[in-house]
Structures are given as structure tokens and as C-alpha cells.
């Protein structure tokens, strides 16, 4: 990596918590300058616009969140157990960027306006759905998951339950709503998804 | 109502869509002036601060959302059917204020900062939980709902599923995620909540 590339990465890393906590409009150039300890010109040398920086910051925060949620997943063989481990990771592990789920924040922040961020959030959501759907499809193929399970629907039930629970938990400053979602989803996976031998 | 009170209500009504779509920071005084067709002084004659106006606008948007979701609920006798009707209303009916669920928007907008809005969002969430919990408690008392159902948990499962599905559906510009949440919740209510005679 060149020095310029390193600076660019550092700016993204330092701006990400700001955007994730305060949103696009709530993150002023002043605050971005303070967080990165750079002048305006120093930032614009690396990014064409605040929007470009916000998009990169979202990608970074999202990659960090995914890394946390996928922790140790490869070690789990059975696909239903893999979904359960994914859900447990979601409840117990956080990405390195504070401020809650980057997707939930960026989706609600951008759904009425900011097209660049909105496209980014949609792409992140699609990637998340694909990831869960692949586990489900694999489970059906290996006869671990019932053939009548609709993978797009199950993926959305998992995503919606967890994201909604984050919203409640962050308002109440409690992990309880996420734990409730986990136990609801785990029961559902056992009762309606897993094929028992 | 005095003329002043009418003006105040009109400002709230006209500012609510702006705050609900663009968030607190994203709603500039310029845009509030344009939406209400008033000068700054005309707005500050009725509200001590932008924050006070945003709080009232949230309360208004939330009241409108609740009205839509509670539509015709009193006509439903059985408490499980009442929960199902509530969920159906949530999927099919919108409050009069565009921009998605005011609670989801205001919660993600304020959870890292704005204390006034955050308190408002928490109060709204608590009111929503209380409303659903009262239906569930009533159902247990009338032996329509199983005695082992934990009302706080069931209320949160319903709220989280619906709010998370709104997030997905607004990104995908589709009602499908909400319909998936509805069918998931309906199945759950029939399988694990309702006492069958």
C-alpha cells in the first residue's frame, strides 16, 4: 500500500463511527475533519465528495459487522446449526464500528433520499440475503432442512427479526430484545425447518 | 381552538413529513420554512426550538401511524384474532405521514444522540408494547391465549418482525417482506399462542 492508500483507509476507518452514529446529514464536514485530524483539502484529496466518503465508510462498517456475525461459522457443519450460530453471533458480537447495525442505520437514513447510500444499503441487504439463502439451499440439498422451506422467506424472517430487535434493544439499552428474537428464531428453526433423524 | 393554536397544529402537520423522511439533521430550517410557508420568526413564535418542533412532529406522525394500525380493532372479539388484525393493519395501512414508520426512523436517528427525540421514541415504543401486552393479558385471562405465553416477549417478537420487515421492504420498494412477516407471525400465533377449543 502506498502512503496515499494508507491515508485513505485511515480516513474511512475514522469517519465510519461518525457516519454510523450520526447519519449522513448529521455528520458535518467539521466533525469529519475533527475525527480524521485533517483539513478539508486533505480529505478531498482522497475522496471526490462527502457522499463518496460516506459510501466507503458504510462499506467498511458493513464489512466489519459481517466479519463479526460470520465468526467461526465455517467450523459448523449442519446447516441449521450454522443458522443458529449465525444468529448467536449476531446477538453476542459487534462489529468494530460503534452505533448499531450499519445496514439498519443507512437504510432508514437513505430510504427517502440519498440515492448513492441507498444503492449501497440495498447491495448490502442483497448480499446478506444471498449468504443466508446459500446456507438454506445447502441444507435442503443435504436433507438437513425441509424441502418446503422457502429460502428467500426464511432469510427475510431471520433478518427482519434481528434488525427489529436491534432497534428495540438500542432504545431500551438492553440485550434482552435480541435474546428474545434469538430464542424465537431458534425455536422456529427446530420446529419448522430442521429435519430430525 | 384559537388562531394561534390552529397555526401551531398546521406547522406540526406540515413539518412532520419532512422530519419523518429526512431525519432531524436532514431537515434544515430552510426546508421547514418552505414546507410551512413561514419565516423563521413565524415558526419560533410557536416553538421554542427546532427540537421542540421535531418532538411534536414525531408525536403527530406516531399518533397517525397508531390510528392506522388500530383501525377497526375494537370490533374484533377474540384476542388472537385481534393480534392478527393488528398485524394485517400494519401491513396494509399507512399513517398519513409519508416516510415509513416514525418509530423506526426516529429510533435509528436519535439512538446515538438527540436525547429529546430518543426519550420520545422510547415512550412511543413503551406505549406500543403496553398496547400489545394488554391484548395478550386479556387473552390469557379469557383462556384464548396459552397461560405460558410471556406477554413482553410476544409483544417484542411482533414489533421486531414488523419493524425489521419495514426496513427490508422500504429498501426493496416491495410489500413482500411485510407479507412474509405477517404470515410468519400468523402461523406462530396459531401454533404456539392460541388455545383451540
- Distance between CA atoms of residues B137 and A10, nearest Å: 53
| Contact check, Cβ <8 Å, B157/A161 | yes
- Distance between CA atoms of residues A194 and A196, nearest Å: 6
Please, how many CA atoms are within 13 Å of residue A30, restricted to the half-sphere of its CB?
A: 3
Q: What is the pTM of this model?
A: 0.96
B64 Cβ contact partners less than 8 Å away, ≥ 6 residues apart: B16, B95, B96, B97
Which grid cell sits at A121? 444499503
Cβ distance A171 to B112 under 8 Å? no
- Distance between CA atoms of residues B27 and A9, nearest Å: 31
**How much is the average pLDDT of A78-100?**
96
Residues of A in contact with B160 (CB under 8 A): 160-165, 167-168, 177, 180-181
| CA quadruple A177, A181, A182, A184: dihedral sign | positive
- Distance between CA atoms of residues A159 and A2, nearest Å: 38
Q: Work out the angle between the directed axes of helices B3-26 and B29-36 (0-180°, nearest 10).
A: 140
| Contact check, Cβ <8 Å, A25/B23 | yes
Whether residue A61 is predicted with pLDDT greater than 90 in this model: the reply is yes
Which one of A27, A120, A124, A157 would you mutate to disrupt binding with B, by most B Cβ within 10 Å of its Cβ?
Answer: A157
Q: ipTM value of the model? A: 0.96
Number of helices (H), then strands (E), belonging to chain A: the values are: 9, 0
Name the residue with cell 394485517.
B88
Rounded to the nearest angstrom, the minimum Cα separation between A193 and chain B is 13
Whether residue A123 is predicted with pLDDT greater than 90 in this model: the reply is yes
Residues B152-176: pLDDT tens digits? Answer: 999 999 999 999 999 999 999 999 9
- pLDDT number for residue B113: 75
| Whole-number average pLDDT of chain A | 96
- Distance between CA atoms of residues B171 and A123, nearest Å: 10
Amino acid at each position: 500500500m502506498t502512503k496515499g492508500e494508507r491515508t485513505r483507509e485511515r480516513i474511512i476507518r475514522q469517519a465510519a463511527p461518525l457516519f454510523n452514529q450520526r447519519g449522513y446529514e448529521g455528520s458535518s464536514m467539521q466533525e469529519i475533519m475533527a475525527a480524521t485530524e485533517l483539513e478539508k483539502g486533505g480529505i478531498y484529496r482522497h475522496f471526490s465528495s462527502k457522499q463518496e466518503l460516506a459510501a466507503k465508510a458504510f462499506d467498511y462498517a458493513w464489512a466489519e459487522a459481517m466479519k463479526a456475525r460470520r465468526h467461526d461459522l465455517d467450523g459448523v457443519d449442519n446447516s441449521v446449526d450454522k443458522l443458529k450460530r449465525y444468529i448467536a453471533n449476531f446477538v453476542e458480537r459487534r462489529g468494530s464500528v460503534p452505533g448499531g447495525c450499519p445496514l439498519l442505520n443507512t437504510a432508514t437514513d437513505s430510504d427517502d433520499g440519498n440515492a448513492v447510500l441507498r444503492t449501497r444499503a440495498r447491495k448490502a441487504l442483497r448480499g446478506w440475503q444471498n449468504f443466508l439463502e446459500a446456507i438454506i439451499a445447502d441444507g435442503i440439498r443435504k436433507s438437513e432442512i425441509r424441502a418446503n422451506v422457502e429460502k428467500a422467506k426464511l432469510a427475510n424472517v431471520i433478518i427482519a427479526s434481528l434488525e427489529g430487535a436491534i432497534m428495540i434493544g438500542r432504545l431500551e439499552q438492553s440485550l434482552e430484545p435480541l435474546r428474545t428474537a434469538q430464542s424465537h428464531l431458534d425455536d422456529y428453526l427446530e420446529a419448522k425447518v430442521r429435519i430430525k433423524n
